[in-house]
């Protein structure tokens, strides 16, 4: 079987995001990651939620599931448990994954299913045309916060670290090659990988300039297995470090299930036990 060429992962569907949207870069980076890993399109499932992330599955020639608002992880975990050999990539947003779907993340982290989830964090509800999200900064004026957002934002990477995800990376679509590599690393990782993408929304929350000025790639001396180092890294104020922040080897959901004692039984003896 020949390795699919880079163009073979993209479908003829062209998403209609705003000009300058970070999603275009992320789409390209995912395509590059699939190519880097030489995945077969029929072995990949891209699962999206609701928001600007929703159309991602249609951009690929792989399998896909466009689910409900906030429910990427429930569906993705079901797919993963039924067919553990598939490569499953979830695509969610800051509202999708941390507001309506925020209850799912700690549980996915503790089960450690073998799937990657990319969270496109643009700090705004963009598809509904600009309301404050869980990651919108204090004081930001939006249509639904005309005098400035009154709530403190959450930091997705900090929260993921607290939830003890076994893989955490942060990337930026302005660095598509770097992001592609992070996504590839996340897909390759055995366990639950969260990839936090700092994703500018030029229409409702334009952070291109701010992020471009502040991001800095994590150097080779950094040890992603050291949680204390990860904590320090995420507390940096002047810079926004991007790269693999946490990488820990822990049994996956599948491996934990296999630990269960072999109790193979035939259906007839199960029935007879009710006599």
Partner 1 sequence: MDLTVRLAGESGDGVILAGEILTYALSRMGLKIFTFRTYPSSIRGGQCMYQIRASDWHAYSQGDTLDLLVAFDTEAASSNLKDLKPDGGVIFDQDRIPRDDPTLPKRALGAPFTSIAKNELSFPKARNIIIAAYAAGTIGISETIMKEVITGKLGSRGEAVLNKNISATELGFKLVPKEEIRTLPTGETNKIVLSGNQAIVLGAIAAGCRFYGGYPITPASDILELLSDLLPGVGGRVFQGEDEITSIGAAIGASYAGTKAMTATSGPGFSLMTEMIGMASMAEIPVVIVDAQRGGPSTGLPTKTEQSDLNQAMFGGHGDVPRIVLAPGSVEDCFYQTIRAFNLAERYQLPVILLTDQSLAQCTEGVPLPDIDNLQIVNREKANLVDEGKFRRYAVTDNGVSPISTPGEIRGEYVAESAEHDERGRVNFTTNAHSQMTAKRFRKLETAERELADDPLNFTEVDDREAKLAVMGWGSTQAAIHEAVLKSKEKRIRVKWLQCKLLSPLPRKKINTFLEGVDHVVVPELNYTSQFANLLRMNFAIEPILITKTEGMPFTPGEIIRKIEELA
User: Looking at 28, 71, 181, 189, which residue binds partner 1 (CB under 8 A)?
Assistant: 71
Report the residue from 21, 26, 27, 76 that binds partner 1 according to the rule CB under 8 A: 76
- To partner 1, the closest distance from the beta carbon of 21 in angstroms equals 17
H or E element at residue 23: helix 22-37
Of the candidates 44, 71, 58, the residue with the CA atom closest to the CA atom of residue 16: 58
The stretch among 18-26, 74-82, 134-142, 185-193 that binds partner 1 (CB under 8 A) is 74-82
Q: Residue 45, interface with partner 1 (CB under 8 A)?
A: yes
Answer whether 77's CB lies under 8 Å from 52's CB: no
Q: Which is nearer to partner 1, 80 or 136 (CB)?
A: 80
Dist. CA 108–CA 22, nearest whole Å: 26
Please report whether residue 175 would count as binding partner 1 according to CB under 8 A: no
Name residues contacting partner 1, limited to 10-29 (CB under 8 A): 11, 13
* Position 57 contacts partner 1 (CB under 8 A): yes
> Does 43 interact with partner 1 (rule: CB under 8 A)?
yes
DSSP conformation letters of 38-66:
T--GGGEEEEE-SSGGGGGGGGBSSEEEE
Tokens of 193: 């990988």
Burial profile 141-180: b = 16 or more Cβ within 10 angstroms, e = fewer = ebeebeeebeeebebbbebbbebbbbbbbbbbbbbbebbb
Indicate the residue among 106 and 174 with the shorter CB distance to partner 1: 106
Q: Tokens 């992962």 map to which residue?
A: 9
Nearest-angstrom CA–CA distance, 158 and 164: 10
Q: Does 82 bind partner 1 (CB under 8 A)?
A: yes
Is there a contact between 255 and 226 (Cβ–Cβ < 8 Å)? no
Decide whether 80 or 252 has the Cβ nearer to partner 1: 80
| The one segment of 133-141, 220-228, 235-243, 266-274 that binds partner 1 by CB under 8 A | 266-274
Q: Are 94 and 132 in contact (CB under 8 A)?
A: no
Q: Does position 103 bind partner 1 by CB under 8 A?
A: yes
Rounded least distance, CB 45 to partner 1, Å: 5
Give the residues lining the site for partner 1 (CB under 8 A). Answer: 11, 13, 40-43, 45, 47, 54-55, 57-58, 61-68, 71, 73-83, 85-86, 103-104, 107, 257, 260, 263-268, 270-272, 274-275
């Amino acid at each position: 079987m020949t390795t699919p060429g880079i163009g073979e992962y993209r479908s003829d569907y062209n998403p209609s995001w705003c000009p300058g949207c970070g999603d275009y870069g992320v789409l390209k980076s995912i395509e590059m990651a699939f190519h880097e890993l030489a995945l077969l399109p029929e072995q990949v499932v891209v699962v999206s939620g609701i928001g600007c992330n929703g159309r991602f599955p249609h951009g690929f020639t792989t399998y896909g599931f466009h689910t409900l608002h906030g429910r990427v992880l429930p569906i993705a975990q079901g797919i993963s448990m039924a067919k553990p050999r598939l490569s499953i990539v979830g695509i969610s947003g800051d509202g999708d994954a941390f507001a309506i779907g925020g209850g799912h993340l700690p549980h996915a982290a503790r089960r450690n299913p073998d799937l990657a989830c990319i969270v496109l964090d643009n700090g705004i509800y963009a598809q509904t045309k600009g309301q404050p999200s869980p990651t919108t900064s204090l004081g930001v004026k939006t249509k639904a916060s005309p005098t400035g957002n009154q709530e403190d934002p959450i930091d997705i990477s900090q929260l993921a670290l607290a939830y003890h995800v076994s893989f955490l990376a942060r990337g930026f679509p302005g660095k598509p090659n770097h992001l592609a590599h992070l996504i590839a690393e996340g897909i390759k990782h055995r366990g639950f990988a969260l990839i936090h993408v700092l994703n500018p929304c030029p229409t409702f929350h334009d952070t291109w300039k701010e992020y471009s000025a502040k991001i800095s790639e994590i150097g080779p001396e950094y040890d992603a297995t050291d949680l204390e180092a990860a904590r320090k890294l995420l507390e940096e104020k002047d810079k926004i470090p991007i790269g693999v922040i946490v990488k820990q080897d822990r049994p996956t959901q599948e491996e934990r299930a296999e630990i269960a004692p072999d109790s193979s039984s035939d259906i007839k003896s199960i029935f007879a036990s009710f006599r």
